[in-house]
Amino acid sequence: MTDFRQEFLAFALARNVLRFGEFVTKAGRRTPYFFNAGLFNDGVSLRALGRFYAEAWLASGVAADQLFGPAYKGITLAAATAIALAEMGRNVPYSFNRKEAKDHGEGGVIVGAALEGRVLIVDDVITAGTSVRESVDLIRAQGAVPAGVLIALDRMERGQGEASAVQEVRDAYGIPVVAIATLDDLMRFIAGRPDLEAWQPAVGAYRDRYGAQ
């Protein structure tokens, strides 16, 4: 596990974004861990999160010309990632969409840079894939090319079928999905932390029961 993945999970744990206990997912599954990216909700957290997103993208090797943040969560994530990249010496444009088009001022549904070239979608997680589908359609409608999706955590668990939500996006659109960390990374993280080792059997059992192949 590379340093930034380990650092990200440790940071998420410290910020209470990553928690261990007994939780129920939206799908009704009992899970021993919970990840809520919405709790990265202050300046220090957002600055660090942007750096982790930037590092994950640069480490992935996925080629892209700009960032796109789907409304609403993706807006701040794309902006934070763009700032972090600029601090690393890589200045890339970014944009986001409105939920409803404006008919005055600059108009339209896109705010920020015009969608051109290869566009990387930045979001928190992929669940049903609705946000990705809407983003892909919007990017293509503007004549640009969706280059991939960048997310915080890949839970690596099955959706409605045998594949995970991330795998379904890859298969449906033929684009890569890059995660700062995955469930496999999380399991290795737990194994390396004496204070969390007690959760290893429960997380492993959850992976065995609900994990995608």
Based on the residue annotation, tell me whether 26 is a catalytic residue of this protein: no
CA distance linking residue 175 with residue 139, whole number of Å: 13
Quick one: tokens of 135? 């983003």
Question: What residue spans of the chain are helical by DSSP H?
Answer: 3-14, 43-60, 73-87, 130-141, 165-173, 183-191, 200-210
The number of CA neighbours under 13 Å toward the Cβ of 53 is 34
Q: Which residues are catalytic?
A: 102, 104
